[in-house]
C-alpha cells in the first residue's frame, strides 16, 4: 500500500515521505478499511513533523481521520462493502492512521457513514467539523438561543472555526468571527459571519475582569490570553465551548465573570467521545451542514502534499478544510 511514513533518525530528527509499505505491517485490529479520503487537522501537522509528544513509536503513519470502505472484518457489526468513518481514539498518534491506502482499527472506534454524506464530504467535516458540531450542541444544551445575541467564533478561518461559523449561521445565530487574517473576511462572510473581529482586538488579557456584556456564547479554538479576555465579555449566563489551544495553553483568567455573571467554560473533547454522542453529532452534521458552504471551505490534496501542508497548518496558514484524496 502507499502510505505517508514518518521515520525518526538516531539523532531524533523526523522525516515524512510517501512510500510503498507492506500491508502485513498494519497494526492489530478487527476491521481493515480501504481508505478513500483523509484530512488535515492541527494535530496531524504535529504528527507529520516531530510529533509534539503525541507519537509514541516510529516508523509511523499519521492521519487522525479517515473514511472508506470495509475490506475485511472480524466483527459482526461491519461487513465488507460498508462505508465507515474514523475520527479520534488516538489513531494517527499512537496507532497507524489514515494517510495510507489501508487502515486496520478496532470496530469500536468506527461509525457508519450517515445517510446524506459521502466519504469525501465526511472528511471535509473530519475531526475539526465533528468538534465544531459538539461545541455548538454544548452551547445549545447550556441555554444558547438566537435571541440572546451574537456568538463569537475564534480561530475562525481555521478548520474548527470555519465549520462552527457555518453551522451557527445556518442555524440562524448572529456570528462574529475573530481572525488574524483580514484577507479572509470575504471567505468568512460567505460562510455566514455577520461581523469580523480583528485578532488584535482580543489578543491581550484585560486588566479589568469585566467588560461590557457582548457575547451570548463562544466556540473558542485559541485559548491563551484571548480566552481570558472573552470570559470578561460574555453576557450573563453565557458559555464558552473550549475546543483548542492555537494561541497557547495558559489562560490568565479572573474568577470574577464566573461569580458575578455566572459564565461557564466547558471543555470539548472529540477524541475519546463515546460512540452514542458521535453517531448523534454525525447525524446532525449530515442534516444541518449546508453542503455548498462545506464545499467552499475545501481544498483537495494528495499524500505527497502532506509534508508541506503539515508545516503550513502549524503556522496558521491553512484556510478551512484540507481533504486528502488517498487514491490520487
Ligand X SMILES: NC(=O)c1ccc[n+]([C@@H]2O[C@H](COP(=O)([O-])OP(=O)(O)OC[C@H]3O[C@@H](n4cnc5c(N)ncnc54)[C@H](OP(=O)(O)O)[C@@H]3O)[C@@H](O)[C@H]2O)c1
Nearest to 6 by CA among 75, 54, 72: 54
Give the residue with the Cβ less far from ligand X, 19 or 142: 142
Give the residue with the Cβ less far from ligand X, 42 or 96: 42
Binding track, positions 286-315, relative to ligand X; x by CB under 6 A: ---------------------------x--
**Binding residue for ligand X (CB under 6 A) from 5, 43, 109, 326?**
43
| Contact partners, residue 22, CB within 8 Å, separation at least 6 | none
Q: Are 215 and 233 in contact (CB under 8 A)?
A: yes
Does 189 help bind ligand X (rule: CB under 6 A)? no
CB of 270 to ligand X, least distance (A): 4
Query: Judged by CB under 6 A, which stretch of 107-115, 231-239, 262-270, 290-298 contacts ligand X?
Result: 262-270
CB of 218 to ligand X, least distance (A): 13
Sign of CA pseudo-dihedral 224, 228, 230, 235: positive
CA distance 197 to 267: 23
CA distance 21 to 57: 16
Does 31 help bind ligand X (rule: CB under 6 A)? no
Does 87 help bind ligand X (rule: CB under 6 A)? no
Does 284 help bind ligand X (rule: CB under 6 A)? no
Dump the DSSP string for 218-280: EEES--HHHHHHHHTTEEEEEEEEE---TT-S-----SHHHHHS--EEEE---SS--HHHHHH
CB of 157 to ligand X, least distance (A): 3
Nearest to 64 by CA among 33, 103, 17: 103
CB of 112 to ligand X, least distance (A): 21
In the complex, which residues of this chain contact ligand X (CB under 6 A)?
Answer: 41-43, 127-128, 131, 155-161, 179-181, 199, 221-222, 243-247, 268-271, 313, 316, 318
Amino acid at each position: 500500500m502507499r502510505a505517508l511514513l514518518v521515520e525518526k533518525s538516531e539523532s531524533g530528527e523526523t522525516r515524512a515521505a510517501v512510500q510503498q509499505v507492506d500491508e502485513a505491517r498494519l497494526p492489530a485490529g478487527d476491521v481493515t478499511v480501504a481508505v478513500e479520503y483523509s484530512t488535515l487537522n492541527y494535530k496531524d501537522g504535529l504528527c507529520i513533523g516531530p510529533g509534539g509528544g503525541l507519537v509514541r513509536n516510529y516508523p509511523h503513519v499519521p492521519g487522525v481521520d479517515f473514511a472508506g470502505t470495509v475490506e475485511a472484518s472480524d466483527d459482526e457489526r461491519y461487513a465488507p462493502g460498508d462505508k465507515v468513518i474514523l475520527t479520534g481514539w488516538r489513531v494517527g498518534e499512537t496507532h497507524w492512521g489514515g494517510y495510507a491506502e489501508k487502515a486496520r482499527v478496532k470496530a469500536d472506534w468506527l461509525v457508519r457513514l450517515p445517510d446524506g454524506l459521502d466519504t469525501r464530504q465526511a472528511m471535509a467535516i473530519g475531526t475539526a467539523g465533528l468538534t465544531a458540531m459538539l461545541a455548538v450542541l454544548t452551547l445549545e444544551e447550556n441555554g444558547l438561543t438566537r435571541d440572546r445575541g451574537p456568538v463569537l467564533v475564534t480561530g475562525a478561518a481555521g478548520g474548527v472555526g470555519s465549520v462552527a461559523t457555518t453551522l451557527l449561521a445556518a442555524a440562524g445565530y448572529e456570528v462574529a468571527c475573530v481572525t488574524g487574517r483580514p484577507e479572509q473576511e470575504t471567505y468568512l462572510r460567505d460562510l455566514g459571519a455577520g461581523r469580523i473581529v480583528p485578532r488584535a482586538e482580543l489578543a491581550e488579557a484585560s486588566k479589568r475582569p469585566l467588560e461590557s456584556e457582548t457575547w451570548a456564547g463562544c466556540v473558542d479554538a485559541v485559548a491563551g490570553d484571548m480566552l481570558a479576555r472573552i470570559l470578561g465579555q460574555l453576557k450573563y449566563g453565557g458559555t464558552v465551548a473550549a475546543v483548542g489551544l492555537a494561541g497557547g495553553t495558559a489562560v490568565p483568567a479572573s474568577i470574577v465573570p464566573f461569580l458575578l455573571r455566572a459564565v461557564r467554560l466547558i471543555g470539548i473533547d472529540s477524541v475519546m467521545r463515546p460512540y452514542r454522542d458521535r453517531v448523534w453529532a454525525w447525524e446532525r452534521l449530515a442534516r444541518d451542514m449546508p453542503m455548498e458552504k462545506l464545499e467552499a471551505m475545501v481544498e483537495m490534496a494528495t499524500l505527497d502534499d502532506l509534508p508541506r501542508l503539515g508545516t503550513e497548518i502549524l503556522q496558521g496558514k491553512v484556510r478551512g478544510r484540507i481533504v486528502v484524496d488517498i487514491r490520487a
